Structure 1
Amino acid sequence: MGKASQQKKSSRARKLGTRDLEALRRGAVQSGIPDAIVLDRNDLPPEQKISWPLAQLLQDEVSDHPTLEEYQSALTAIVAAWNTSLLPESERAEALRDQIGFDKSVPPEIRREVTQRIERLIEEKVARFPHDRRRIVSWEARLEGDVLRVVAAASDGPRHDTLEDVMRGLLRTMSA
């Protein structure tokens, strides 16, 4: 498919998205919520997408020539730190200890290493993105040709019901 065809396809997809947004707005008005705001995240500048700060943190976290697995493991640690950073500061250490301590098959030294890494990443997130309170609900690092792409989704409010899953994935990648 040539470049012109790709542009046409992209244009058609954007128009379909616009129609969907209009339908959502009409539904909101019919439901009695006339001032509902529906955001199309695809139209946001890169700096406003959750993948942008994740990619910034990831860039500093990996070695010089990382494998895809190293990228994925580092991104999982970053997400764990990000979501933990949304908790009140007084609750972070206990939540982290609870999440890392649940899998007794992971050696204590690995659990200690993971805890230290997450604590360092929490400090980094808070220092660099202190006002970003979005909770990351999905994430992926993937290679597209020679380019690493970070794809992520977030909710606008902090919730922590996925932290155990994040920590379980992180421990699994570090103990493998």
Structure 2
Amino acid sequence: MPRVIALLLMLGLAATLPAYEVQIRHLSQPDFLQQVFADQEPQAGLLPLRGELRERVTTVLGHPYRGLRLRYWHTDTTSAWIIDEKSKDMPMTVGVAVGPEGIVDLEILVYREPRGGEVHQAFFRRQYRGMTLGENDALSGQVDGITGATLSVDATSRVAAMALVLHQAVMEGASSP
């Protein structure tokens, strides 16, 4: 009986403690860009989010993106995006590289939730390689989820689709006279 009381007291004490913030940095921004562009020297750019592009991004995310513009890096055919998107309670920072054939690389740079961090594992991230935009700016392929990480998987997929939309806008802008 004393063990049960002690356990209940510990559980009660744990419930009153403030929630802790988890932040796992998996990859830095410079390391992500080096991984994407290797020996090439990418140019940095700022893409304003307005008009039809803002509407497309809002549709893909399911909510308005809070920024007015996004920084990105690019060469003639490849762009890299670093985007924060809310998972459950906290934002995660995702890096996505897009080339002519779709997603080239997807990395979780920073993960801030106590659960669902398995989305940074290579077996999960590899699923996005080669994906393009399908109908209604949805990803062209299915993503197998991870038990206990549904919200993180959804957030990662939204960011992947958003990067594809943004890449398309940049590439169409580059080909305009």
**TM-score (normalised: structure 2):** 0.32
**TM-score (normalised: structure 1):** 0.32
Which one scores higher on RCO, CA 8 angstroms, separation ≥ 6?
Answer: 1
- Which protein has the bigger helix share? 1
- Which protein has the bigger strand share? 2
